[in-house]
């Protein structure tokens, strides 16, 4: 298929960072000016290298005013558990990996505004690797977090790879962040991409990693929130994007959980909203992902108390990824949602929880003895 000429827009980055970004290039001076305009230095209320909060606080600044100029350099320097990275406004064009040994790590966007601090790169699954082959979905991730106890506040995680710029590449999955650790929390963060934006997963099939997302913004088009983690998305905003390469519906799918069959808890979306750039009914709410590596998966998604725009197909909100694993055999349910995309016009297409069943689909039930909402 011949694709249209590239559109001069990296919408999800430019719109998110405003004047601080232009086609993926940051204006560090402007970002710093914004921080100073708020009456503080580049690290806000979090100290500085000369006034360090403690010995396990490291400062990242793209212009050299911190301990490190890249996020990965700061991660590498955090050789044990319990480090905090305070990241100054700017765009950090790099890939970042947090290994399993770097537990209880916290990243803080110093300005308190996620738009100001952006970690971004542009690999896709089909991008050629320097040593041969291609990256694959996991390898495309801008950020990879494998450590337990990771927390991020007020940051943007992005992958600005665009299909229109690479018509010869068929592997269009381009992950902004893959999270595999248990007790991973994200507050006030933004996750920007197109296909496979937020990969909420675990380290192994038998590991039920718990993740918590609050007051976050996620956008994309195909399966842009996916994976096998036990994940709670509380008061989050999901936005579906327009697509210039397709002429008809569906453009894509918001959720694609791959919950292990033995895991009693998958994805819970509560108190959020789903908006859309696309025409009415051009997006499905979800489809189940049963990977070839785990054909016993039983994807689980519960959406409750969430407002859905007309961009979601209210008549047929779910579809299959594979005919061998129909969505009706999975664990999809809704409860007291609102908006034109949540209208129950064909009841058999929209399984609803009873009030009694809904009592077991709460953040407390999903996260167990871990209570991140009390400390965030």
Other CB atoms within 10 Å distance of the CB of residue 345: 9
Q: How far apart (Å, rounded) are the C-alpha atoms in residues 117 and 115?
A: 6
For residue 223, indicate whether it is catalytic: yes
Question: Sign of dihedral through CA atoms 306, 116, 174, 221?
Answer: positive
Q: How distant, in Å, are the alpha carbons of 288, 289, 325 from that of 322?
A: 8, 8, 6
Active-site pick, 196, 201, 221, 313? 196
Sheet bearing 222-227, strands edge to edge: 96-98, 143-145, 177-179, 198-200, 222-227, 252-257, 283-286
Q: What is the end-to-end Cα distance of the chain in Å, rounded?
A: 47
Sheet bearing 210-214, strands edge to edge: 57-60, 84-87, 106-109, 151-153, 184-187, 210-214, 230-234, 267-270, 300-304, 331-335
- Bridge partner residues of 153 (DSSP): 108, 187
- Bridge partner residues of 144 (DSSP): 97, 178
Active-site pick, 148, 154, 160, 223? 223
Q: How far apart (Å, rounded) are the C-alpha atoms in residues 300 and 277?
A: 26
How do 198-200 and 222-227 pair as beta strands? parallel
Q: How distant, in Å, are the alpha carbons of 33, 37, 205, 291 from that of 117?
A: 13, 16, 33, 34
Q: Peptide bond preceding 250: is omega within 30 degrees of 0, i.e. cis? A: yes
Active site residues: 196, 223
């Amino acid at each position: 298929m011949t694709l249209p000429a590239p559109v001069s827009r990296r919408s999800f980055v430019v719109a998110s960072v405003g004047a601080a970004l232009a086609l993926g290039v940051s204006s560090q001076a402007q970002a710093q000016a914004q921080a100073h305009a708020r009456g503080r230095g580049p690290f806000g209320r979090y100290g500085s290298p000369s006034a360090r909060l403690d010995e396990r606080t490291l400062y990242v600044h793209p212009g050299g005013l911190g301990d490190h100029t890249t996020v990965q350099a700061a991660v590498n320097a955090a050789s044990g558990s319990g480090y905090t990275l305070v990241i100054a406004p700017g765009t950090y064009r790099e890939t970042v990996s947090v290994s399993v040994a770097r537990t209880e790590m916290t990243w803080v966007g110093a300005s308190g505004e996620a738009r100001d601090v952006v970690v971004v790169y542009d690999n896709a699954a089909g991008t050629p690797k320097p040593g041969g082959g291609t990256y694959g979905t996991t390898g495309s991730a801008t950020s990879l977090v494998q450590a337990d106890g990771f927390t991020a506040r007020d940051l943007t995680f992005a992958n600005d790879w665009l299909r229109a710029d690479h018509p010869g590449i068929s592997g269009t999955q381009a992950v902004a962040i893959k999270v595999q650790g248990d007790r991973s929390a994200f507050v006030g963060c933004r996750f920007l991409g197109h296909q496979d934006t937020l990969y909420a997963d675990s380290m192994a099939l038998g590991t039920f990693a718990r993740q918590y997302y609050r007051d976050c913004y996620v956008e994309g088009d195909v399966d842009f929130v996916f994976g096998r983690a036990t994940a709670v998305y509380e008061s989050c905003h999901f936005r579906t994007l327009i697509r210039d390469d397709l002429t008809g519906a569906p453009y894509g799918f918001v959720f694609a959980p791959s919950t292990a069959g033995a895991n009693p808890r998958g994805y819970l979306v509560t108190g959020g909203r789903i908006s859309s750039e696309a025409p009415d009914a051009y997006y499905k709410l979800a489809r189940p992902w049963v990977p070839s590596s785990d054909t016993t998966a039983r994807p689980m998604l519960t959406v409750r108390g969430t407002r859905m725009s007309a961009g979601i197909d209210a008549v047929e909100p779910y579809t299959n990824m594979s005919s061998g694993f129909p969505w009706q055999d999975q664990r999809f349910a809704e409860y007291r949602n609102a908006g034109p995309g949540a209208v129950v016009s064909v009841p058999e297409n929209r399984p609803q929880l009873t009030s009694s069943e809904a009592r077991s689909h709460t953040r407390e039930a999903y996260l167990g003895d871990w209570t991140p909402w009390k400390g965030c």
